[in-house]
């Protein structure tokens, strides 16, 4: 695996992982690498310094840094998404795979109006939108809640 720092034509910088340098070249040639800020596919590799840890540097790494979970936000966008996710989870009911059924019931007045989130198959989501049920995809995967 290789991590590249990338830059779009609008000068947004972001990072992404690729299986190899050849894999990056292939997905870039197919216009499948896009800027997460603006969607621009005119992406180039930006100058980056490799993170090389010497034995001495590894010994000096703070314990907090080593124990930090990979899910900890590292960019402003990740921090904003983490806050959005927390707000949605705190102020909405998770309905799991019953999302389409519950959203339609709320829209039709058969269930009490409330904020919900959950999961739906693509066909179910399309059907809700076609029927005028106000839904939107979330930019994150909900935590599955179990009993």
Q: What is the pLDDT along the chain (147 residues), one digit of tens a residue?
A: 888 889 999 999 898 888 888 999 999 999 899 998 898 999 999 877 666 666 665 556 565 555 666 667 778 888 888 899 999 999 999 999 999 999 999 999 999 999 999 999 999 999 999 999 999 988 877 776 654
107 near 116, Cβ under 8 Å?
no
Cβ atoms within 10 Å of 141's Cβ, excluding its own:
8
CA 140 – CA 142 distance, rounded (Å): 6
pLDDT of residue 65: 57
Contacts of 74 (CB under 8 A, 6+ apart): none
CA distance 57 to 137: 43
Q: Cβ(145)–Cβ(94) under 8 Å?
A: yes
Q: pLDDT (tens digit, 9 = 90+) per residue, 93-114?
A: 999 999 999 999 999 999 999 9
Q: Residue 122 corresponds to which tokens in the numbers above?
A: 């693509």
| Alpha helix positions (H), 6-133 | 21-29, 55-60, 63-67, 76-91, 99-108, 122-130
Those residues with Cβ within 8 angstroms of residue 15's Cβ, 6 or more apart along the chain or in another chain: 3, 4, 5, 6
Task: Quote the pLDDT of residue 75.
Answer: 81
- CA–CA gap between residue 7 and residue 48 (Å, rounded): 11
How far apart CA 65 and CA 25 sit, in angstroms, is 33
- Domain spans in the chain, listed from the N-terminal domain onward: 2-52, 92-130
């Amino acid at each position: 695996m290789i991590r590249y720092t990338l830059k779009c034509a609008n000068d947004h910088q972001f990072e992404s992982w690729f299986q190899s340098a050849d894999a990056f070249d292939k997905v870039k040639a197919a216009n499948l690498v896009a800027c997460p800020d603006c969607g621009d596919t005119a992406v180039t590799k930006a100058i980056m310094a490799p993170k090389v840890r010497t034995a001495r540097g590894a010994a000096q790494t703070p314990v907090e840094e080593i124990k930090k979970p990979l899910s900890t936000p590292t960019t402003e966008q990740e921090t904003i998404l983490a806050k959005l996710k927390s707000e949605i989870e705190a102020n909405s009911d998770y309905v799991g795979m019953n999302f389409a059924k519950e959203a339609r019931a709320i829209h039709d007045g058969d269930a009490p109006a409330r904020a919900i989130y959950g999961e739906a198959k693509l066909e179910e989501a399309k059907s809700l939108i076609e029927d005028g049920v106000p839904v939107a995809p979330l930019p994150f995967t909900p935590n599955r809640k179990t009993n």
